[in-house]
Structure 1
Amino acid sequence: MRRVLRNLLVDAVFFLFAIVFTVLIADSVLPDDLSPAAEATENAVWLVACLAVFARRRWPVLIAAALIVAGTWLHLLTGPTLVALFTVAAHRPPRVTAWVTALAMAPAPLAVAQHLLDPEPDRFVRGIVYFLLVLGAVGWGLYTRSRRQLIASLRERAERAAIDARRQAREDMAREMHDVLAHRLSLLSVHAGALEFNPTAPPAEVRRAAAVIRESAHQALDDLRDVIGVLRSAGDTGRPQPVLTDLERLAEESRTAGTRVVLDQRVADPGAAPAAAGRTAYRIVQEALTNARKHAAGAPVTVTVRGGPGTGLTVEVGNPVRGGGAPGPIPGAGQGLIGLAERASLAGGRLEHHRSADRFTLTAWLPWPAAGGGP
């Protein structure tokens, strides 16, 4: 509705332009010996041409061609003709505009030849002004068309960028959900499996395992609720993201679940690590511990973190291929290492993994600018 009103307003402005333009030039273009019948015909055709402005978007080429041809005999059609030429240039392809412009400029050579044979300065000047006005109307229309196309292109590019950003945000959230929930649920599975494997465990140990299961399930539900909230609102839950200093807490969680974790923290000031590098390092270690519980239950895991400003942050996680733990392997989607490689790449780093006959090693390098800052 808003666009319709805007178009009507623009058409009304062009209608007034055609009328005012004709009123201003009428005395100079109408012959003095014009008969009353001819004058009435001029006025009637001119009024119809002005009203045709309101149909210019539907039949721009037809209206322009008709006005150009009629203008070779009539004198008051310059204003509507300029509007029609502008519309053709603004709304039709350049090839069509070129043909219509050529039709409008066709009398130019004849006017020049006639002036050379029978010089009439006033008539010749009026012809020059007319052709300049034609070129001006066409040029303005071409400019309007190119500007409209540019705006449409920028809008389309912005919409595409917004769609890409939303898709990237959802991919990031899916990756985050995989890392967090896989860690929580693997802890839960380890303790539940331990209870199943050792049903005669002392009551105190059973209570402790049940408490860990309950806490892990509660945290998993909280994490899932946060993920769903972000997906719905496309915003931030406000929960703090993990940093490098949280690795000790992560290792302690795994120790509580029965995994022997040795954390070798060789970073002088972990709190100064860039947020992106610290968060990515945390998720890499988290996924590595989850994979160790899945595929080598009971095996000891060694986590080494070293580096600093200028040299980058190196994270290395290693564990034996086979563990000595109780429960069987925990099912997984097989996307963990792929997701970690993508996460490291997005952070500007790289990730490699190597499996020998008896050991699996995961190594990641993340950038740490010399200034000590980071994104």
Structure 2
Amino acid sequence: MNVSDARVDDGPVPEYRWVLPSVLLGDGGEGRPVRRSTRDWIVDVAVFLVACAITLLGLPEVQDEPAALLLTEQVAGALSCVSVWLRRRWPVALALVLMVVSTFLELAGGAGLVALFTVAVHRPFKVSGPMVLLYLATIPPYLLVRPQDGMEPLAWGIVVTAMLLTVYAWGIVVRARRQLIWSLRQRAASAAEEAKRLERERIAREMHDVLAHRISMLSLHAGALEFRPDAPAADVARAAGAIRASAHLALQDLRQVIGVLRHPGSGDGDGDGDGQVPERPQPTLADLPSLVEECRQAGMDVRLEQRADDAPDGLGRNVYRIVQEALTNARKHAAGQPVTVTVTGVPGAELSAEVRNPLGARHLPRIPGARAGLIGLAERAELAGGRLEHGPTPEGEFVVRARLPWPEKETAEPMAERAAGERS
């Protein structure tokens, strides 16, 4: 159901997340016209019929009264039942009027109970609480004006009090239920918005990690062609081929991300049968040598020292992205400088990735950046339960160092022993 089409006790409401709880609980506001939905009409007709039924049940009690008083009772009872249709627009005012009338006239009691119920449902406790106390305060004068034959005043007072408190408690329960439903809907809407935000951040992070790497490769090769126009034809052809390959890979990555954004479960595009766009295989720690080789082919001087190969896929993917972004930053800010990548770690301790390069010369042109790469890496490391350190060193180098927890891998034998113990 569309949020803008949602209806509550007072009719259609505006955008859901901006609606006050009182409006969602049927509080249309004093004196404001009320637009009833089909459900509202059904409820109002039912309430009107209940008020009429209670009034008709009270007719035998007033048959022996004088003609003038009997006519007054009948007119007041009819008008009270009709006034129930105003309960949504003026609930508090209607309840006060009917409270006074029902204190002296028997046939207005049914409409008074309906008015009290309406206030309990549509108004907070700071309004409905004093209202029910006023109703209870009218019981003694009612007992004096309307004594019941064959019943002690105390017993009749207990019956009337029980009726008022039961109707009020029912209204409070209805209001509490509506508040609970409203709260659950708000939580669901907030959870949906949070899920969308996290997914957007994930896609943005992946786009930055992948496209920044591809585009920096394009810039590097294009810069080489710009500064070496007299290069041999073979070198020019090789650089042009690298530019074409990097552009093709960048377009592929961009097309997949746009496909995810454009067809989220709709079944269109290139997705599979259930409408989900298939994700391309994610890199792991085993793909680091290929990344380093790609950078070397682009002209970078990169040395890899990898002493950890069997990390879990999720952990390896985080390390791969961190190294990829660090190499991209090295190409941007320290072009032509040697870069050392060191990956070490053991299960049960941590996996460490360090990218180290001399600080670049300040007079060399640099590839512009969004200054969001290191922030994204820090967030990725924190989400993985680790930490990221980066900055210049006294030796004149720039270091990016990530330390991520590496849970100890369970062997098959302990797992089998634990399963046997659970079965026993």
**TM-score, scaled to structure 2:** 0.78
Match for 2:332: what amino acid?
A: K
Match of 2:358 in 1: 320
The 10-residue stretch of structure 1 (355-364 or 43-52) with the greater mean CA deviation from structure 2: 43-52
343, 358, 361: which one pairs with 2:396?
A: 358
Contact kept? 1:268, 1:308, Cα under 8 Å: no
Does residue 157 of structure 2 align to residue 127 of structure 1? yes
Does residue 114 of structure 2 align to residue 83 of structure 1? yes
Contact kept? 1:195, 1:206, Cα under 8 Å: yes
Match of 1:142 in 2: 172
- Give the unaligned 5+ runs of structure 1: none
Contact kept? 2:390, 2:400, Cα under 8 Å: yes
SS at match of 1:230: helix
Contact kept? 1:322, 1:358, Cα under 8 Å: no
182, 187, 199: which one pairs with 1:157?
A: 187
Match of 1:21 in 2: 54
258, 261, 285: which one pairs with 2:299?
A: 258
Match of 1:205 in 2: 235
Contact kept? 1:263, 1:304, Cα under 8 Å: yes
Shift of 1:118: 12
Match of 1:47 in 2: 78
Match of 2:369 in 1: 332
User: Could you report, residue by residue, the CA deviation over 1:173-214 in whole angstroms, capped at 9, with x for unpaired residues?
Assistant: 222222211100111111111122222222222111111101
- Higher relative contact order (CA closer than 8 Å, sequence separation 6+): 1
What do you get for the CA RMSD once the two structures are aligned? 2.9
Contact kept? 2:218, 2:246, Cα under 8 Å: yes
1:167-206 equivalent positions in 2, closer than 5 A:
167-206=197-236
Shift of 1:297: 1.5
311, 319, 325: which one pairs with 1:281?
A: 319
**Identity %, equivalent residues:** 52
Contact kept? 1:274, 1:372, Cα under 8 Å: no
Does residue 383 of structure 2 align to residue 346 of structure 1? yes
Shift of 1:43: 2.9
- Give the unaligned 5+ runs of structure 2: 12-36, 266-275, 412-424
User: Could you report, residue by residue, the CA deviation over 1:196-237 in whole angstroms, capped at 9, with x for unpaired residues?
Assistant: 222222222211111110111122222223333334445674
SS at match of 1:70: helix
Whole-angstrom CA distance in 1 between matches of 2:143 and 2:124: 30
Whole-angstrom CA distance in 1 between matches of 2:80 and 2:142: 24
Contact kept? 1:111, 1:124, Cα under 8 Å: no
The 10-residue stretch of structure 1 (86-95 or 44-53) with the greater mean CA deviation from structure 2: 44-53
Contact kept? 1:309, 1:372, Cα under 8 Å: no
Contact kept? 2:303, 2:339, Cα under 8 Å: yes
Whole-angstrom CA distance in 1 between matches of 2:191 and 2:79: 47
Whole-angstrom CA distance in 1 between matches of 2:219 and 2:45: 74
Whole-angstrom CA distance in 2 between matches of 1:15 and 1:114: 26
Match of 2:278 in 1: 238
**TM-score, scaled to structure 1:** 0.87
User: Could you report, residue by residue, the CA deviation over 1:26-75 in whole angstroms, capped at 9, with x for unpaired residues?
Assistant: 44xx1452245543432332222222222211111111111111112211
Corresponding residue pairs, total? 365
User: Could you report, residue by residue, the CA deviation over 1:276-306 in whole angstroms, capped at 9, with x for unpaired residues?
Assistant: x222211111111111111122222222222
Match for 2:41: what amino acid?
A: L
SS at match of 2:230: coil
Match for 1:181: what amino acid?
A: L
Whole-angstrom CA distance in 2 between matches of 1:109 and 1:124: 10
SS at match of 2:369: coil
Contact kept? 1:86, 1:141, Cα under 8 Å: yes
SS at match of 2:107: coil
User: Could you report, residue by residue, the CA deviation over 1:95-128 in whole angstroms, capped at 9, with x for unpaired residues?
Assistant: 221232122111335578999x999635543332
Change (3 A) 1:154 1:317: same
More helix per residue: 1 or 2?
1
Match for 1:144: what amino acid?
A: V
SS at match of 1:72: helix
Contact kept? 2:285, 2:309, Cα under 8 Å: no
Change (3 A) 1:14 1:111: closer
User: Could you report, residue by residue, the CA deviation over 1:310-368 in whole angstroms, capped at 9, with x for unpaired residues?
Assistant: 21321111122238xx9732222222112211121122211001312422211111223
SS at match of 1:95: helix
